[in-house]
Amino acid sequence: MQIKLNYGRGSIPLNVHESWNPEIIRKPLMPFEKNPKSAITKALNNPVNALPLSEIAKHKKNACILICDITRPVPNHLLLPEIVAVLVENGIPTKNIEILIATGLHRPNEGKELEQLIGNKWILNNIKISNHFAKNEEDHVFMGVTTKGTTVKLDKRFVNADLKIVTGLVEPHFMAGYSGGRKVISPGVAHQDTITTFHNHKFMSNPQADSCILKGNPLHEEQLEIVAMIGEVLSVNTVLDEHRNLSLVNYGEIIASHLEAVDFAKDYLSVPVKRKFNTIVTSAAGYPLDATYYQTVKGMVVPYQILEPGGDLIIASECAEGLGSNEFKKAQKMLVGTGAEGFCAKISAKSYAAVDEWQTQMQTKIMNVGNVHLYAPGLQRSDQKLTGVNIIRNLNEFIESRVIKNLDLFGESSLAIIPEGPYVVPTLN
């Protein structure tokens, strides 16, 4: 039998013997909107714990709309024209509307990539579009200090806007529980010092800082506290199905509307399984998430709870843009030099994290359980050495070899395949 694994802008075929009795872990079939434009219009007129956007816009002079960067497949080409149209129709001129890309500490989105991100020529030509730069001190305003001690500085273009709107995608997030909503603000438009504080070892090592967990999650709680410092913020939230069709769109007060979207999505995104597996094959979800190894880490970490100790996790990721930032490379170099245990010991006492160090810390989660193998032909040899995992050349041959090995080692073959990678969270039932 052949199973397609999400890879790049398409898929990669897996040749799987039926005798291996593979368990294919997918989302349940999700509903989707046959008329997305109509669904968005309906959402903007039927808010969650807020007034319709048209009513709010009538009393505002200017607006800032936050959008996620290129690493998230948010359907901006659907959302932005509808949102901007409502603002303009209700008195906010186009010159007073700014779209701010919530990059966090990621690189800016420019040129052809920006065109792809926005997906609408009229928006590109008529609305000001800017990138957030977390390291630019002058772009930020001090908001206060959280109860956990995080100094909060946010992009003043968003904070000072008369009307503040966040857009995003609700999907599993391996640190913050779910993406979207409050996360688009922090880390999305937060200063570097703010981000590195609540991404330190103490936050990241908390067992509640995990996929599909909000209650007791220290990152989520910190994000809620940061949002509360701003005042009125509205949010347009989306949920996508396996084929990236619009499954849900809603609008309203940022916390209430995000939680409503989470409540809809959770039964689809979290998939119960009855056992652990000695071999897991997964992906980094395809483009845009598998463009770098940095993002690929999400795919390898999410299924860690269902991997048998000493088992094998095999992940395919295109990594067409390489490893990631220079800061991430530095953290990975430390990991390779010290091992997973040594890496965590070195960073455990710090009150702040080095930039992108948290991704390496998360990688140690799966390394502490079993063996990680990466199929990523897009990575240069020098970058492959910095992954800290085993690099494989032939995906199908290696899968077969692991199944046979684990049959001898464990006395049985148990194989799980997760085609959509980190967009699906398997949980032991």
Distance of CA 330 to the CA centre of its chain: 22
pLDDT above 90 covers what percent of the chain?
A: 96
pLDDT above 70 covers what percent of the chain?
A: 100
Other Cβ atoms within 10 Å of 412 Cβ, number: 9
CA-wise closest residue to 292 among 314, 316, 315, 323: 323
CA 176 to CA 187: how far, in whole Å? 11
In Å, how far are 19, 312, 369, 395 from 400, measured between CA atoms?
A: 12, 12, 21, 9
Statement: residue 278 has pLDDT above 90: yes
Which residues 6+ apart lie within 8 Å of 256 measured at CB? 48, 49, 50
The angle subtended at Cα 83 by Cα 82 and Cα 89, nearest 5°, is 85
CA 213 to CA 217: how far, in whole Å? 6
Instruction: Give tens-digit pLDDT for 108-138.
Output: 999 999 999 999 999 999 999 999 999 999 9
The angle subtended at Cα 385 by Cα 382 and Cα 387, nearest 5°, is 115
Structure tokens at 6: 């999400």
Of 221 and 413, the one with more pLDDT = 221
Residue 192 has what pLDDT? Answer: 97
Handedness of CA 6, 358, 141, 256 (dihedral sign): positive
Structure tokens at 354: 């080095």
Residue 345 has what pLDDT? Answer: 96
Confidence of residue 411 (pLDDT cuts 50, 70, 90): confident
Statement: residue 369 has pLDDT above 90: yes
Residue 412 has what pLDDT? Answer: 83
Per-residue pLDDT averaged across 147-176, rounded? 97
CB distance 145 to 114 below 8 Å: no
- Strands 246-253 and 234-240 turn out to be antiparallel
Residue 364 has what pLDDT? Answer: 97
Domain ranges, ordered by start, for the chain: 2-27+274-428, 36-268
Q: Whole-model pTM above 0.85?
A: yes
Could you say which of 3.30.420.270, 1.10.15.40, 3.40.50.11440, 3.40.1170.60 is the CATH number of the domain covering 36-268? Answer: 3.40.50.11440
Other Cβ atoms within 10 Å of 83 Cβ, number: 25
**SS3 (DSSP) at 312:** strand
Confidence of residue 43 (pLDDT cuts 50, 70, 90): very high
Tell me the sheet residues that pair with 140: 155
Element housing 14 (H / E): strand 10-15
Mean confidence (pLDDT) of the chain: 96
Residue 407 has what pLDDT? Answer: 84
CATH H-level superfamily of 2-27+274-428: LarA, C-terminal domain (3.90.226.30)
Per-residue pLDDT averaged across 398-407, rounded? 92
CA 312 to CA 392: how far, in whole Å? 13
Statement: residue 408 has pLDDT above 90: no
Per-residue pLDDT averaged across 172-196, rounded? 97
Instruction: Give tens-digit pLDDT for 376-386.
Output: 998 999 999 99
Instruction: Give tens-digit pLDDT for 58-117.
Output: 999 999 999 999 999 999 999 999 999 999 999 999 999 999 999 999 999 999 999 999
Please name the amino acid found at residue 38: S
Other Cβ atoms within 10 Å of 138 Cβ, number: 7
CB distance 364 to 344 below 8 Å: yes
